[in-house]
Structure 1
Amino acid sequence: MRKLQPATQASEQIILQHNPFYSPAALSGTAFEDLVASFQSHVPTFKASPPGPRQSFRWKSDVVVGPGLGVFRRNRYTADWAVTKKATDERLSIILPIAGVADATIGTRVSTAPPFTALLAPASLSHHIKLRCVGGEYASVTLMFDVDVVSRVLSAIFDGAKLSKLDLTPLLDLSTGAGATFNLLAQTIVSGMLDARLFERSPLAMSLLVESALRLIFEHVPHRLSFRLNRDQLEVAPRYVRRAVDFTHANMHQPLTMIDIAEAAGVSVRSLQAGFRKFKDTTPTAYLRRIRLEAVHAELSLSENRLPVSEVALKWGFTQMGRFAAQYHARFGHYPSETLMWTR
């Protein structure tokens, strides 16, 4: 953590006051139960440990939800409290402390995130986070990336990787390098989400910003698959494989055949199969099945989903329910009915 001289601190505070993270919050109160209730419809199931009975507690908070992302911005508290989460989905929460400190146990890792540090907390890993005041105040911004966008970005970079298996390093320094770039992206995303008109004018731009922020995290924060980044740069898949991948993602809800994919890629079926084996370490059919399974898993993991498993499976091209359930279990380690049960 940088040690700032008094003059530098004053200058930095002036800059921060114009930061979108510091805009006034919409909600406030003194009852801890009201704070928890304000999160209930937007945050996956969590257990909150309230401040001590002798502590004076005031809070300010609001939630802005946008495409692929829920932004919990300008959270401010005057007493320590803690949150414990355990979910089964692939959401990623990134906490950006502004004042105070976030002490976290994520999986088996214990970390402390002061200001100018991002705390990366995958929802699928059990974690306990204590929000600790310094000078009587804790304040932060939290970006929560949805299941589908996390899966899409990870699949584009690491073909089928799961966030829960990535072992992502939990801390990112925001003062230099990739961290500073991510901080600017986060500020831009928050500014755009605070201006509802931006959603109407350019929802695609917001989606691209969200995906760019995630891609930067997965490409620059150390994890188990970081070694593949250098290897993949040395052996880039040919254009026809990339065309096939793009076509498959765009049309995975359609009844695709190998001939359809090969024609879209502009090569023969045999060449397509050889290209996928060499550069994707799989077959086109297996690749299509995997991304369809991920789409089903993402939809079943949404708390707002009200469709039964069979309808979601049919929607994404699975017609034989027994075989689908077995393939789902092999991919995610549990059955689709269990995913649905955990989210309701």
Structure 2
Amino acid sequence: MILLRFENSAHAPEHTVGGFMPTHEGTDFESMVQAFSTSYGAFGAKPLGRERGFGWAVELRRSGAFTAVHSTYQSPWEVRTLDETPQHLAFYIPRTGSLQFTVGKRAVEGRAGHLLMGNNHEIGNRCLQGGPHRSDALLLDWKIIRRMLVSLLEAPVFETLDLEPVVDLATPSGQLIGNLVMTIVQGMRNNGPLMSSPLAVAAMSETLADLVLRCAPHRLSGHLERKKVSTVAPWHVRRAIDYMYARITEPFTISMVADDVGVSLRALQMGFRDFKGTSPGAYLRAIRLKAAHDQLRDPLNLQSVREICTRWGFFHPGRFAVVYRNAFGESPSDTRSRAAASL
């Protein structure tokens, strides 16, 4: 197994802890949970040791779709995902001690030099073992993964990905993913250069998402291989997609998209045809259909089916129902009924 190499922390500034400059630190478990909850979002946690004290230090940096967490803990503890926890693809890099979690019935463990990953809403509780435990984590907003997947498949996707949690660093693709993750982690550590380069962060987030979906084994790998997806789309197609997502609930025409991007309508249509295998209009319809489906699956959403379809640009409920059934195999009211029954 090829292991990740880490920079020599002996060259770190004297005021750092474990090679990083803490943004939060303390001596009790409750203060750590509060710091993470305030800075990132709600989650569940419990200490696993019997020690009365709980020494910890964390550097938490956020830039664009990335959150980088560099941390050291004097005692083991467990973290669990709640329904309200922000969804992300997590890359875990243990440096001392170990990280353990489950994926279905499979137990996974990583130690120094290993790289683990997973959707935090699909994997089990994470146990950070060791005294001390030191690790890095890179969290990528799941919206980037979902958007990239829709872009690659040209259709709404509702299955779980079931990503392989162990990145095989003995393979060229595993090494590429590992090297990019470490580059981002190091670029954000100690308020590094990536913290002041939003364009680089945006490009790296899309690149990392694309690499994971194309190279890491998951439930849809075979589907992607069969589709023989194209290379990354050119700038004008990517800008058009960004425009669509930014104004997804607003009324606009494809001509308006082309004008905003700065290309002709024909050039935009050809770009989508060549690199996405569909038209701009069909692409927009697919992402709006996915958004409507997400709202209908939410049991706490009290809007009517008509209100939801109108919100996402489908102004004829009958036609919406036909398109929806073709995409998801059930009517909008069936989806709403199943969501209500889950409460």
Shared fold, TM over 0.5? yes
Structure 2 equivalent of residue 208 of structure 1 = 203
Shift in CA distance, 34/211, structure 1 to aligned 2, threshold 3 Å: same
| CA–CA separation in structure 2 for the residues paired with 1:14 and 1:261 | 45
Q: Does 1:255 align with 2:251?
A: yes
Structure 2 equivalent of residue 157 of structure 1 = 152
Structure 1 equivalent of residue 83 of structure 2 = 87
Q: What's the CA shift for 1:183?
A: 3.0
Letter paired with 2:154: D
Q: Deviations over 1:281-336 (max 9, x none)?
A: x776453123235568999xxxxxxxx989x979975375978998699699976x
Say which SS state the counterpart of residue 62 (structure 1) adopts. strand
Letter paired with 2:164: T
- Contact map agreement 1:248 1:261 (CA 8 A) in 2: no
Letter paired with 1:141: D
Give unpaired runs (5+ residues) of structure 2. 296-301
The 5 Å alignment of 1:173-252 reads 173-174=168-169, 177-194=172-189, 198=193, 202-233=197-228, 236=230, 247-251=240-244
Say which SS state the counterpart of residue 115 (structure 1) adopts. coil
Q: Deviations over 1:121-165 (max 9, x none)?
A: 2133252111111xx321111111113322222223333465862
- Contact map agreement 1:103 1:113 (CA 8 A) in 2: yes
| CA–CA separation in structure 1 for the residues paired with 2:195 and 2:241 | 28
Structure 2 equivalent of residue 290 of structure 1 = 286
TM-score normalised to structure 1 length:
0.69
**How large is the Cα RMSD of the aligned pairs?**
4.9
| CA–CA separation in structure 2 for the residues paired with 1:138 and 1:268 | 51
| CA–CA separation in structure 1 for the residues paired with 2:181 and 2:294 | 24
Question: Which one of 310, 314, 318 corresponds to residue 313 of structure 2?
Answer: 318
- Contact map agreement 2:101 2:124 (CA 8 A) in 1: yes
| CA–CA separation in structure 1 for the residues paired with 2:317 and 2:9 | 56
- Contact map agreement 1:122 1:163 (CA 8 A) in 2: no
Q: Does 1:137 align with 2:132?
A: yes
Shift in CA distance, 15/194, structure 1 to aligned 2, threshold 3 Å: closer
Q: Does 1:97 align with 2:90?
A: no
Q: Which deviates the most, 210-219 or 188-197?
A: 188-197
Say which SS state the counterpart of residue 164 (structure 2) adopts. coil
Structure 1 equivalent of residue 299 of structure 2 = none
Q: Which deviates the most, 257-266 or 165-174?
A: 257-266
Q: Identity over aligned residues, as a percent?
A: 24
- Contact map agreement 2:237 2:268 (CA 8 A) in 1: no
| CA–CA separation in structure 1 for the residues paired with 2:149 and 2:67 | 19
The 5 Å alignment of 1:21-32 reads 22-32=19-29
| CA–CA separation in structure 2 for the residues paired with 1:174 and 1:316 | 45
- Contact map agreement 1:101 1:113 (CA 8 A) in 2: yes
Shift in CA distance, 82/289, structure 1 to aligned 2, threshold 3 Å: same
Letter paired with 1:118: L
Letter paired with 1:53: R
Letter paired with 1:63: L
Q: Does 1:63 align with 2:60?
A: yes
Say which SS state the counterpart of residue 125 (structure 2) adopts. strand
Question: Which one of 132, 142, 164 corresponds to residue 169 of structure 1?
Answer: 164
| CA–CA separation in structure 2 for the residues paired with 1:193 and 1:323 | 50
- Contact map agreement 2:93 2:136 (CA 8 A) in 1: yes
Q: What's the CA shift for 1:37?
A: 0.7
Question: Which one of 124, 127, 142 corresponds to residue 124 of structure 2?
Answer: 127
- Contact map agreement 1:51 1:79 (CA 8 A) in 2: yes
- Contact map agreement 2:21 2:59 (CA 8 A) in 1: no
Say which SS state the counterpart of residue 8 (structure 2) adopts. helix
Question: Which one of 92, 105, 110 corresponds to residue 107 of structure 2?
Answer: 110
Structure 2 equivalent of residue 303 of structure 1 = none
| CA–CA separation in structure 2 for the residues paired with 1:243 and 1:47 | 42
Shift in CA distance, 177/105, structure 1 to aligned 2, threshold 3 Å: same
Q: Deviations over 1:35-74 (max 9, x none)?
A: 111110344432212133346532111211110111112x
Structure 1 equivalent of residue 30 of structure 2 = 33
The number of residue pairs the alignment matches comes to 313
Structure 2 equivalent of residue 266 of structure 1 = 266
Give unpaired runs (5+ residues) of structure 1. 4-11, 300-307
| CA–CA separation in structure 2 for the residues paired with 1:57 and 1:99 | 17
TM-score normalised to structure 2 length:
0.69
